[in-house]
């Protein structure tokens, strides 16, 4: 449970519902008795939801998706460490603008904009901070930059009848995760997962069910917290080496046994990024400066305002999440 439900049963549109977190949000809403419509380019594969297929950048598709809904959870985004900057701009900023315009025209009043802590991360350690202001000029990389612009756009619609809250889940993981977990396991299995620096930097993360619960909780109180941004985590900071080792053991692979100085990793990440722009590979780059910073600096957040304002508490601890992850691999 999230603490309380989204006002009496509503029809909620979830964009990006074919993704890992999107599917969890849809399940949470369905479990609470809401009607759920989804918008994404491929089927959501979630029983009970009604799919609208298409891009969030297509005004006609978006207008059809928002017609008759009471609220929107906006997750659709281009999420990558590399790619054409224009694609990030078109999807993350343009898609958000298209969705908000259509939602307001359709009479929707409540929107949860799912953002990222990277919108306020400038490369330094984050030690017990609250949600800082999104800043496209200082955000690291095209994803973070455009997500920062999108958040400012969502929260700053002067004169709009929309009530919008931004939720920034931090390092979401769990069974079925093809981003963080799958990449950690794949690289560990291939012997390509080092610990950066001493591995003792404290980082927080969010088990997927907790992230979904917080997003749905935000939808229930959006009228009260309109215009605010909240970072969501488990509230259990752990040394980065310990968290990586826990994920590896859950998947049955050896944790990383070698280390690379953090400064070397950042320099290498910058070089890889530069080379990737000239000759991009088929997959994500093996290292970027942003990724090196994430794996070598502390980033954990004060959760008191988040839990008080959203009236939400995480229900799955990191240890329980790792146990469930291990079960999924078995």
pLDDT in tens, 210-250: 999 999 999 999 999 999 999 999 999 999 889 999 999 99
Give the Cα separation of 261 and 259 in Å (integer). 7
Residue 8 — pLDDT band, cuts 50, 70, 90? low
Of 230, 167, 242, 147, which is closest to residue 204 (Cα–Cα)?
242
Query: What pLDDT score was predicted for residue 220?
Result: 94
Residues designated as active site:
143
Query: What pLDDT score was predicted for residue 122?
Result: 75
User: Percent of the chain, pLDDT > 70?
Assistant: 84
Residue 190 — pLDDT band, cuts 50, 70, 90? confident
> What's the gap between Cα 83 and its chain centre?
18
Give the Cα separation of 271 and 228 in Å (integer). 37
Query: What pLDDT score was predicted for residue 1?
Result: 40
Cα separations in angstroms, 193 against 22, 53, 186, 259, 265: 28, 37, 9, 9, 12
Give the Cα separation of 110 and 265 in Å (integer). 42
Q: Where are the beta strands (DSSP E) in the chain?
A: 11-15, 35-40, 50-53, 71-74, 110-114, 126-129, 163-169, 172-173, 195-196, 202-203, 206-207, 229-232, 238-239, 259-260, 299-301
Of 64, 76, 75, 73, which is closest to residue 106 (Cα–Cα)?
64
What dihedral angle (degrees, nearest 10) is formed by the CA atoms of 166, 4, 13, 44? 100
Residue identified by tokens 């997927």 is 208
Note the pLDDT tens digit of each residue in 257-290: 867 666 655 665 556 555 656 666 655 655 555 5
CB 268 within 8 A of CB 293: no
Tokens of 180: 């963080």
What dihedral angle (degrees, nearest 10) is formed by the CA atoms of 208, 203, 237, 311? -50
Tokens of 310: 């959203």
Average predicted confidence (pLDDT) for the chain: 87
CATH number of 11-174+205-234+301-316: 3.40.50.720
195 has pLDDT over 90? no
pTM: 0.90
CB 197 within 8 A of CB 296: yes
Residue 252 — pLDDT band, cuts 50, 70, 90? very high
- Please tell me the least confidently modeled range out of 51-60, 129-138, 208-217: 129-138
Query: Where are the domains positioned within the chain?
Result: 11-174+205-234+301-316
**Mean pLDDT for the stretch of residues 192-218:** 90
């Amino acid at each position: 449970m999230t603490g309380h439900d989204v006002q009496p049963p509503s029809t909620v549109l979830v964009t990006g519902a074919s993704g890992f977190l999107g599917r969890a949000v849809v399940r949470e809403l369905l479990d609470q008795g809401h009607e759920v419509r989804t918008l994404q380019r491929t089927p959501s594969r979630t029983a009970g939801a009604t799919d609208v297929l298409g891009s969030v950048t297509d005004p006609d598709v978006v207008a059809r998706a928002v017609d008759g809904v009471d609220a929107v959870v906006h997750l659709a985004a281009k999420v990558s460490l590399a790619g054409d900057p224009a694609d990030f701009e078109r999807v993350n900023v343009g898609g958000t603008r298209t969705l908000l315009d259509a939602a307001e025209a359709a009479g929707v009043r409540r929107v949860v904009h799912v953002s990222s802590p990277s919108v306020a991360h400038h490369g330094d350690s984050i030690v017990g901070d609250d949600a800082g202001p999104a800043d496209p000029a200082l955000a690291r990389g095209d994803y973070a930059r455009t997500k920062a612009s999108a958040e400012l756009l969502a929260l700053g619609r002067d004169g709009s009848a929309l009530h919008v809250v931004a939720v920034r889940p931090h390092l979401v993981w769990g069974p079925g995760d093809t981003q963080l977990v799958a990449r950690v396991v794949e690289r560990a299995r291939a012997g390509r997962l080092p610990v950066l620096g001493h591995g003792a930097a404290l980082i927080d993360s969010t088990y997927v069910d907790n992230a979904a619960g917080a997003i749905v909780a935000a939808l229930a109180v959006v009228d009260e917290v309109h215009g605010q941004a909240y970072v969501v985590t488990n509230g259990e900071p752990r040394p980065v080496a310990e968290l990586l080792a826990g994920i590896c053991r859950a998947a049955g692979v050896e944790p990383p046994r070698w280390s690379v100085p953090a400064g070397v990793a950042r320099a290498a990440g910058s070089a890889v990024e530069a080379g990737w722009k000239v000759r991009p590979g088929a997959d994500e780059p093996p290292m970027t400066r942003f990724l090196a910073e994430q794996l070598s600096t502390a980033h954990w957040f004060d959760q008191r305002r988040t839990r008080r304002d959203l009236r939400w508490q995480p229900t799955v601890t990191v240890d329980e999440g790792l146990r469930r992850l291990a079960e999924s691999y078995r």
